[in-house]
């Protein structure tokens, strides 16, 4: 080392004298991490129930709450976290890279919807990552440990764990910040690692773990048993018949079908997801698709992604297992967000290669989906866009004239897959009124619904309303400017959470799945006169006495 | 001659709004440079204009309290922002000042109703969301 270089003690002294002090008032002179963490009603999610943890074999099952002073962490929890970090730094190169490379430029700071909605500095992605980087530096880099104050290192304490739990559960893994990061840091992956580490010591979220346990047991997040799953869909078949006069014929667990269709279970059980399911059923009937639905691989979503890589892999495995068992050629996937991040970015390397499947080819148009060559799974929006492009659908967009639409890009589809145009193409073919929200709130810059990554818990409602504020604000803009009253999206969590967000911030705006509008617009062979949409709301200009031709 | 409080607010609209907005935004953890603060400023402006014109204030007050009802603040502190306008309206006679203060107090009471309505909405949203999630189960149970 050069004789001119400062010695560590001198460097530390100089830094202490010169470093900027931004905290004022009672916190003057303190470090940023000394800002208190306070759990209150509305800003934390209930922890995993002991029986849920036991069911899926996660450690430290117990009754506790974030507001408790003592979180009943297991003996030796510090070593568990350190060993967990060590193992993950070795196994996940991205994690190691993201711990080392941030230059604190701040480009990400005001891109996070939780920071914009709460103003809490620890919700700036750079600072959220620092929550874990500060421990990483202390425990895994010698120089930083020696220059503790200079490097921003700190010791792992129960307060740090509380802070992690607070802020890594105020990140929806939407990756908007990563779009603006000049170093390419994906904060979502940092959050994923942090949540994995917290799960090692039993610090968790029941809204994530209960669906994981359900999915592990029955194949879907809602814990629907196979017979109920089928009955629900058949009940929607009855609704379709009543509304359109057409009887659609979905099949279940049918060996030898050409295509296996998998969608989030919210489409089979929840409102408004079921209307999107009706749209799929009408579409498949319209084109005479040879498909089947599995009551085992009955969930497109994967809350394992918010728990651990191992859990994500386990829950995802059923898709390929079932495709193999049924002998289908390829898989078609419904409208979902994080499902597509798992499928598009992890499935092939986690549970593939799926050599037993074929490169997807549309049986109707002959289009080869070369982009799905490795996963063998196609997104329904590109499948439908291709059908429309080839003139295979008989559509009457006037049937959606009672809706004035805008489109919410779902984070994982937009930023995780780069799919922006296909859903817009479909939407513009099935409805006549469409207006974009402002440029910096759509496509790759889309704002999250504020409830993704397993944060859609009721008890977290206040924070969800604040995190969803930037999205609601953009909808408010097109509502005032263009009288938009319908927010269309292609994500099941959006369909569950955006109605709530809209009702709070923009009353009068309803939320629709893209294929619900496709279902409205489809002119089916042998249909009766349509006067109502799939929700049984009257269509404009199609009432009694009106001529719909 | 001293002015009525409406005229005083009309004459100094921008400076009153700037001061009111800065005070209100200082209650928020994001300060004055966040979208929440910007939305707050827009609604304070609408409220100010409605007060001056003698128009109904229900809508701007509802929009204002909707923002405040989900902030990390106790209700008393949230609604204290309304009183921030009182010292900003200068040049009033004692009588006019009393009238103005009375009007602001009236607004605060109205805001309390509106604030509570939004809190009730939050609780209703929780219930409705649970019902929507169980839509098909409830439909079968009710059939």
How many CB atoms are closer than 10 A to CB A40?
Answer: 11
pLDDT for residue A231 is more than 80: yes
Q: Is residue B44 part of a domain?
A: yes
Summarize the confidence of residues A95-103 as an average pLDDT: 93
Of B78, B73, B72, whose CA–CA distance to B24 is shortest? B78
What average pLDDT does this structure show over A199-207? 97
CA distance A249 to A282: 9
What's the mean pLDDT in A273-289? 98
B68 in reach of chain A (CB within 8 A): no
Is A266 close to B133, i.e. CB distance below 8 A?
Answer: yes
Of B70, B130, B132, the CB nearest to A466: B70
Residue A12: band (very low, low, confident or very high) from pLDDT cuts 50, 70, 90: confident
Q: Do A274 and B126 touch (CB under 8 A)?
A: no
pLDDT of residue A293: 98
pLDDT at A18 over 70: no
Closest B-chain CA to A462: B70
What pLDDT sits at residue B143? 76
Chain A residues close to B122, C-beta within 8 Å = 461-462, 465, 504
Query: Residue A392: what are its φ and ψ, rounded to 5°?
Result: -90, -5
Question: Which residue among A42, A271, A504 places its CB closest to the CB of B132?
Answer: A271
- Residue B72 CA to residue A463 CA, distance in Å, equals 9
**Cβ–Cβ contact B113 with A under 8 A:** no
* Contacts of range A96-100, beta carbons closer than 8 Å, 24 or more positions apart: A97/A185, A98/A129, A98/A185, A98/A186, A98/A187, A98/A189, A98/A190, A99/A132, A99/A133, A99/A136, A99/A140
CB pair distance less than 8 Å for A119 and B34: yes
Range of the domain at B74: 5-118
Q: Is the pLDDT of residue A303 over 60?
A: yes
Q: A299: which 2 tokens?
A: 């969930």
pLDDT tens, B94-108? 898 999 999 999 999
Q: Compute the nearest-CA separation of B28 from chain A (Å).
A: 7
pLDDT value of position B92: 82
Instruction: Answer yes or no: is pLDDT of A310 > 90.
Output: yes
Mutate to test the interface with B, among A42, A229, A463, A465 (most CBs of B within 10 A): A465
Among A32, A118, A301, most B C-beta atoms within 10 A, so best to mutate, is A118
| pLDDT (0 to 100) of residue A15 | 67
Q: What is the DSSP string of A395-429?
A: B-GGGGTT--EEEE--HHHHHHH---HHHHHHHHH
Chain A nearest CA to B94, separation (Å)? 37
Contact A462 B122 (CB under 8 A): yes
Cβ contact B29–A120 (<8 Å)? yes
Span A123-129, average pLDDT? 95
Task: Identify whether B140 is part of a domain.
Answer: no
The count of domains in chain B is: 1
Please name the member of A40, A459, A473 whose beta carbon is closest to the beta carbon of B35.
A473
User: How confident is the model over A176-197, as pLDDT tens digits?
Assistant: 999 999 999 999 999 999 999 9
Question: Does position A1 have pLDDT exceeding 70, yes or no?
Answer: no
Disruptive mutation site among B27, B133, B134 for chain A (greatest number of A CBs within 10 Å): B133
- Give chain B positions within 8 Å (CB) of A497: 129
Pick the residue from chain A with its C-alpha nearest to B119: A462
Say if B50 is an interface residue toward chain A (CB within 8 Å). Answer: no
Interface test with chain A among B29, B117, B136, B138, by most A beta carbons within 10 Å? B136
Contact criterion met (CB < 8 Å) for A270 and B31: no
Residue A548 has a pLDDT of 46
Please give the residue that has the higher pLDDT: either A150 or B92.
Answer: B92
- B57 lies in some domain: yes
Tell me if chain A has a CB within 8 Å of the CB of B139.
yes
Per-residue pLDDT at A19:
63
If you search the block for the tokens 């974009």, which residue do you land on? A436
Q: What is this model's ipTM?
A: 0.94
For residue A445, the model assigns a pLDDT of 97
Closest CA of chain A from B122, distance in Å: 7
Q: Is residue B19 part of a domain?
A: yes
Average pLDDT over residues B43-67: 95
DSSP string, A119-132: --GGGSHHHHHHHH
pLDDT given at position B30:
73
DSSP A333-400: E-S-SHHHHIIIIIIHHHH---TTSPPPB-TTT--B-GGGTTT-EEEHHHHHHHHHHTT---B-GGGG
How many whole angstroms separate alpha carbon A308 and alpha carbon A200?
10
The pLDDT score that the predictor gives to residue A28 is 73
Whether B85 has a pLDDT exceeding 50, the answer reads yes
Per-residue confidence band for A288, with pLDDT thresholds at 50, 70 and 90: very high
Give yes or no for residue A212 having a pLDDT over 80.
Answer: yes
Residue of B nearest to A38 (CA): B72
State residue A30's pLDDT score. Answer: 77
pLDDT surpasses 70 at A23: no
Indicate whether A98 pLDDT > 80: yes
A268 neighbourhood in chain B, CB within 8 Å: 136
């Amino acid at each position: 080392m050069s004789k001119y270089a400062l010695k560590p003690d001198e460097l530390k002294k100089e830094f202490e004298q010169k470093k900027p002090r931004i905290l004022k008032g009672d916190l003057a002179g303190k470090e940023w991490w000394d800002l208190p963490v306070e759990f209150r009603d509305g800003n934390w999610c209930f922890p995993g129930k002991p029986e849920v943890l036991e069911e899926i074999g996660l450690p430290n099952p117990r009754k506790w709450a974030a507001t408790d002073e003592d979180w009943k962490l297991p003996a030796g929890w510090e070593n568990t976290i350190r060993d967990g970090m060590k193992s993950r730094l070795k196994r996940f190169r991205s994690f190691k890279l993201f711990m080392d490379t941030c230059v604190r430029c701040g480009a990400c700071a005001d891109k996070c919807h939780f920071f914009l909605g709460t103003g809490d500095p620890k919700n700036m992605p750079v600072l959220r990552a620092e929550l874990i980087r500060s421990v990483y530096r202390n425990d895994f880099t010698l120089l930083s440990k020696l220059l503790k104050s200079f490097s921003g290192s700190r010791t792992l304490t129960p307060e740090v764990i509380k802070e992690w739990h607070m802020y890594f559960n105020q990140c929806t893994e939407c990756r908007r910040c990563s779009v603006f990061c000049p170093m390419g840091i994906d904060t979502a992956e940092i959050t994923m690692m942090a949540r994995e580490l917290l799960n090692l010591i039993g610090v968790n979220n029941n809204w994530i773990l209960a669906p994981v346990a359900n999915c592990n047991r029955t194949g879907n997040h809602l814990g629907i048993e196979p017979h109920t799953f089928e009955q629900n869909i058949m009940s929607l078949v009855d609704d379709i018949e009543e509304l359109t006069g057409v009887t659609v014929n979905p099949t279940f667990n049918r060996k030898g079908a050409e295509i296996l269709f998998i969608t989030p279970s919210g489409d089979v059980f929840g409102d408004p997801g079921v209307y999107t399911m009706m749209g799929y059923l009408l579409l498949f009937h319209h084109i005479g698709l040879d498909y089947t639905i599995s009551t085992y691989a009955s969930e497109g979503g994967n809350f394992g992604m918010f728990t651990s890589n191992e859990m994500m892999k386990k829950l995802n495995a059923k898709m390929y297992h079932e495709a193999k068992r049924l002998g289908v050629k390829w898989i078609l996937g419904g409208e979902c967000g994080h499902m597509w991040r798992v499928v598009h970015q992890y499935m092939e390397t986690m549970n593939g290669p799926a050599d037993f499947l074929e490169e997807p080819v549309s049986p109707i148009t002959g289009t080869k989906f070369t982009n799905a060559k490795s996963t063998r799974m196609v997104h329904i929006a590109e499948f439908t866009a291709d059908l429309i492009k080839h003139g295979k659908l008989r559509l009457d967009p006037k049937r959606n004239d009672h809706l004035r639409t805008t489109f919410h890009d779902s984070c994982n589809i937009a930023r995780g897959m780069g799919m922006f145009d296909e859903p817009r193409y479909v939407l513009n073919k099935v409805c006549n009124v469409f207006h974009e929200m402002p440029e910096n709130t759509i496509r790759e810059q889309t704002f999250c619904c504020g409830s993704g990554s397993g944060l859609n818990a009721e008890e977290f409602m206040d924070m969800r309303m604040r995190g969803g504020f930037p999205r609601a604000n953009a909808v408010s803009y097109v509502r005032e400017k263009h009288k938009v009253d319908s927010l269309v999206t292609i994500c099941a969590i959006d369909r569950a959470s955006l109605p709530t967000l809209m009702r709070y911030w923009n009353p009068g705006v309803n939320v629709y799945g893209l294929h619900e509008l496709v279902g409205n617009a489809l002119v089916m062979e042998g249909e009766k006169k349509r006067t109502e949409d799939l929700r049984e709301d009257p269509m404009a200009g199609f009432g009694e006495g009106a001529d719909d031709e | 001659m001293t002015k009525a409080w409406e005229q005083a607010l009309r004459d100094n609209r921008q400076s009153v709004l700037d001061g009111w907005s800065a005070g209100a935004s200082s209650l928020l953890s994001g300060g004055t440079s966040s979208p929440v603060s910007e939305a707050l400023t827009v609604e304070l402006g609408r409220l100010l204009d409605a007060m001056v014109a003698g128009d109904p204030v229900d809508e701007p007050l509802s929009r204002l309290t909707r923002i405040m009802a989900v902030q990390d603040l106790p209700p008393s502190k949230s609604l204290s922002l309304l009183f921030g306008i009182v010292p900003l309206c200068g040049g009033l006679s004692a009588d006019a000042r009393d009238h103005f203060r009375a009007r602001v107090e009236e607004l605060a009471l109205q805001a309390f109703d509106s604030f509570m309505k939004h809190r009730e909405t939050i609780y209703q949203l929780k219930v409705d969301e649970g019902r929507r999630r169980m839509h098909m189960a409830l439909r079968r149970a009710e059939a």
